[in-house]
């Protein structure tokens, strides 16, 4: 079977980190990509879970809103100063 080349654009820092990982486990980027590709084709899916941060998911927003409403009904309020909010925003 003939080999072919592909070109992938990736952040230079991320590439160096991946090269270091590969070197640490005794392979190079080409081998890592071939392993990934074979696993994806064999399973016919990406061979690992790709998930977003569910903190802002609609379900979590609803849960937080319901909790806030219940806390408000019980008279439980959290107060935060403008300076505290600015500090959080700057983090």
Whole-number pLDDT of residue 79: 76
Give 4-52 pLDDT, tens digit per residue: 999 999 999 999 999 999 999 999 999 999 999 999 999 999 998 877 7
pLDDT-derived band of residue 83, with 50, 70 and 90 as boundaries?
confident
Whole-number pLDDT of residue 3: 92
> What backbone torsions phi and psi does residue 31 show, to the nearest 5 degrees?
-60, -45
Q: Is the pTM of the predicted complex or chain greater than 0.75?
A: no
């Amino acid at each position: 079977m003939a080999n072919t080349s592909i070109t992938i654009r990736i952040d230079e820092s991320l590439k160096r980190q991946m090269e270091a990982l590969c070197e640490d486990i005794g392979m190079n980027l080409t081998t890592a990509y071939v392993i990934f590709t074979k696993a994806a084709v064999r399973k016919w899916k990406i061979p690992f879970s790709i998930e977003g941060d569910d903190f802002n998911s609609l379900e979590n927003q609803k849960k937080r809103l319901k909790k806030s409403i219940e806390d408000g009904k019980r008279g439980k309020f959290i107060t935060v100063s403008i300076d505290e909010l600015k500090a959080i925003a700057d983090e």
